Amino acid sequence: MFETERKGRILIVDDDPGVRELLSQVLSEVGNYDTDMAADGVEGLERVRSNRYDVIFTDLTMPRMNGMDFLQKTREMPSPVPVIILTGVSSMEIAVSAMRKGAVDFLTKPFTLDKIVSTTERVLGEWKLYGRLASKQGSDVSLKILNSELFKRLQEIGSLHSIGLEVDRCHDNKEIYARVAEMAAKLLAVQEVSFGIIEEGRLTIRSAVGIGQATFSAAGPFFDAILGARKHVVVDVGKPNPYTGIPLMSQLLAIPFLAGNDVFGILNLSGKADGTAFTEEEVFIAINLAKKIASKIENNALYEVFFNNIVATLKSLITTVGVRDSYTKEHSERVTMYAIRIAETMGLPPDEIDTLRFGGYLHDIGKIGVRDTVLLKPGGLSDGEMQEIRLHSSIGDEIVKPIRFFDRERKVIRHHHERYDGGGYPDGVAREEIPVIARILAVADTYDAMTSHRPYRKALSREAAVAELVRCAGSQFDPEMVKAFQETLKEEEIPNVIGRG
Ligand SMILES: [Fe+2]
């Protein structure tokens, strides 16, 4: 069979056989290179000692000998081979230090076919150029040019990574929409940026830098190109600005934001600080920024829908309990109110207070699993019936357990009947082993139970209920929570609510 001449020999060192084989296949079939593989640094080094390679790819984290040590050892060899680091964006810092130790480039996972081949070709080309120049005067100059190019790429990818982290820190889509333009302007050093959302055939600008906000009709060839092909569009200098019709003074780059196969937003960039056209690299970075932000926006939207559905389901469950036992529903609302006041008085962080807001509402949800004859029994309960009632905290925990968003609320539900001295249920944990929010809820729960009329006993007065809490501080309750509750009673006029029996 006729074979074209191979362009070089490449060694791939990675402990992940999937990565090794993918790279080998691409380089061999698309790039037309010969390839060898090694599973770690030790094996890689053996191969380098007995073969001649043109390029080496190496992973960083590997057993026996990691990528950094392997790199170091190859650099000490008499005729070094260019080494390309394989890395995830999250380990960019290590990649940077690998570059300082002599690696010539890096490839970030997940790889694209084009990127694998183009990086290899570029490195080989540069290495040959360097080899030719190294024997002549001026090699320092060429090395400096190569280094500054590389440094620029590192900086760009580093900023993309840090902007990615910034996006992750945004609480909701509203905040992301408001910040997209600012983030893009910073990353790509452009003076005019706008980001808009497409709704009902119109593009409404949600954030802008250097230009005003407005709403446009999303019709015409420019929008057809973006919305139809779902690809970026570059409009050249002198052509009319698709938004204003005024001839462009600088190139305009428009990037679609995709959710699945639909374009839901457009990011427009123009006015590059140095007045030049967008390079391929900049377009690549802008597209990646858009992908990152769009996927975060999509996740948030899915999360919101999912979360709202769950909340609606749980609320209807509470209503179900409420229909059977009206005391439970109203009791849950009051307990939540008291618990939040205690938490605020104690200066708990807002996320803990949020947990109480929902956990308090749900804390008795497990009563749905308790029989009517027991739950609604007017008189005293037998030991067996008492045991059944006591199951409600662990039943509630089981109900909420599959919903991973409620991990913190689960703690309130499961532990609201634990005692400070360890004599409670279901787990009999004590003191700090009981989550703070559950210790708070225990005080609020008992106070409300004492001050409500029940079929089998009259409500206690506020003073009598507080006296009981104080008496049980240190045994049933955490004294700190009882103290904080007394503070809230002093500060505010909490009504002595009388529940319906
Ligand atoms: Fe309870």
Q: What is the pLDDT of residues 213-230, one digit of tens each?
A: 788 888 888 999 999 889
- Given a contact cutoff of 8 angstroms between Cβ atoms, the answer to whether 355 and 408 are in contact is yes
| 216 CA distance to ligand 1 middle (Å) | 55
Backbone phi, psi, residue 330, to 5°: -65, -40
| 342 CA distance to ligand 1 middle (Å) | 18
**Cα angle value 15/18/23 (rounded, 5°):** 95
| 414 CA distance to ligand 1 middle (Å) | 9
Residues of the chain with CATH 1.10.3210.10: 325-491
| 332 CA distance to ligand 1 middle (Å) | 9
| 331 CA distance to ligand 1 middle (Å) | 10
Distance separating alpha carbons of residues 313 and 402, to the nearest angstrom: 13
What pLDDT shows up at residue 11? Answer: 96
Percent of the chain clearing pLDDT 90 (strictly above): 39
Q: Long-range contacts of range 370-376, CB-CB < 8 Å, 24 or more positions apart?
A: 370/395, 372/324, 375/324, 375/325, 376/324, 376/325
Please say if the pLDDT value at position 7 is more than 70. yes
467-477 per-position pLDDT tens digit = 999 999 999 99
Pick the range with the lowest mean pLDDT from 26-30, 54-58, 145-149, 425-429.
Answer: 145-149
| 309 CA distance to ligand 1 middle (Å) | 25
Please say if the pLDDT value at position 389 is more than 60. yes
| 363 CA distance to ligand 1 middle (Å) | 6
| 449 CA distance to ligand 1 middle (Å) | 10
* Exposed / middle / buried, residue 352 (Cβ in 10 Å: 0-12, 13-18, 19+): middle
Pick the range with the lowest mean pLDDT from 42-56, 139-153, 412-426.
Answer: 139-153
24-72 per-position pLDDT tens digit = 988 888 888 999 999 999 999 999 999 999 899 999 888 899 888 999 8
| 454 CA distance to ligand 1 middle (Å) | 15
Mean pLDDT of 288-302: 85
| 441 CA distance to ligand 1 middle (Å) | 10
What pLDDT shows up at residue 139? Answer: 46
What pLDDT shows up at residue 142? Answer: 47
| 446 CA distance to ligand 1 middle (Å) | 9
168-220 per-position pLDDT tens digit = 777 788 889 988 999 898 888 899 999 999 988 899 999 999 988 788 888 88
| 397 CA distance to ligand 1 middle (Å) | 12
CATH for 173-297 is 3.30.450.40
Mean pLDDT of 368-384: 83
Q: Which CATH architecture has domain 9-164?
A: 3-Layer(aba) Sandwich (3.40)
| 479 CA distance to ligand 1 middle (Å) | 20
Residues of the chain with CATH 3.40.50.2300: 9-164
Please say if the pLDDT value at position 263 is more than 60. yes
| 488 CA distance to ligand 1 middle (Å) | 22
Please say if the pLDDT value at position 495 is more than 60. no
Q: Which residue has the higher pLDDT, 106 or 346?
A: 346
Q: Which residue has the higher pLDDT, 101 or 64?
A: 64
Helices (H), 170-271: 173-188, 221-229
Identify the H or E element spanning 147: helix 139-169
| 348 CA distance to ligand 1 middle (Å) | 23
| 330 CA distance to ligand 1 middle (Å) | 13
Please say if the pLDDT value at position 144 is more than 80. no
Task: Please state whether the predicted TM-score (pTM) of the whole model is above 0.95.
Answer: no
| 415 CA distance to ligand 1 middle (Å) | 9
| 362 CA distance to ligand 1 middle (Å) | 10
What pLDDT shows up at residue 79? Answer: 76
* Exposed / middle / buried, residue 455 (Cβ in 10 Å: 0-12, 13-18, 19+): exposed
| 438 CA distance to ligand 1 middle (Å) | 11
| 304 CA distance to ligand 1 middle (Å) | 29
| 105 CA distance to ligand 1 middle (Å) | 61
Please say if the pLDDT value at position 261 is more than 50. yes
Rg (CA), the chain: 33
What pLDDT shows up at residue 129? Answer: 61
| 392 CA distance to ligand 1 middle (Å) | 7
| 416 CA distance to ligand 1 middle (Å) | 6
Residues of the chain with CATH 3.30.450.40: 173-297
Q: Which residue has the higher pLDDT, 153 or 332?
A: 332
Averaged pLDDT of the chain: 84
| 305 CA distance to ligand 1 middle (Å) | 29
Distance separating alpha carbons of residues 303 and 316, to the nearest angstrom: 20
In which band, very low, low, confident or very high, does the pLDDT at 285 lie, cut at 50, 70 and 90? confident
CB atoms within 10 A of CB 138: 9
| 364 CA distance to ligand 1 middle (Å) | 5
* Coil vs helix vs strand at 262: strand
| 323 CA distance to ligand 1 middle (Å) | 17
| 470 CA distance to ligand 1 middle (Å) | 20
| 223 CA distance to ligand 1 middle (Å) | 58
Q: Which CATH architecture has domain 325-491?
A: Orthogonal Bundle (1.10)
* C-alpha distance across the termini of the chain, in Å: 92
| 417 CA distance to ligand 1 middle (Å) | 6
| 314 CA distance to ligand 1 middle (Å) | 16
What pLDDT shows up at residue 376? Answer: 79
**Cα angle value 423/425/428 (rounded, 5°):** 50
| 316 CA distance to ligand 1 middle (Å) | 18
What pLDDT shows up at residue 406? Answer: 80
Helices (H), 346-424: 350-362, 372-375, 383-390, 392-400, 407-415
| 319 CA distance to ligand 1 middle (Å) | 16
492's tokens: 């505010």
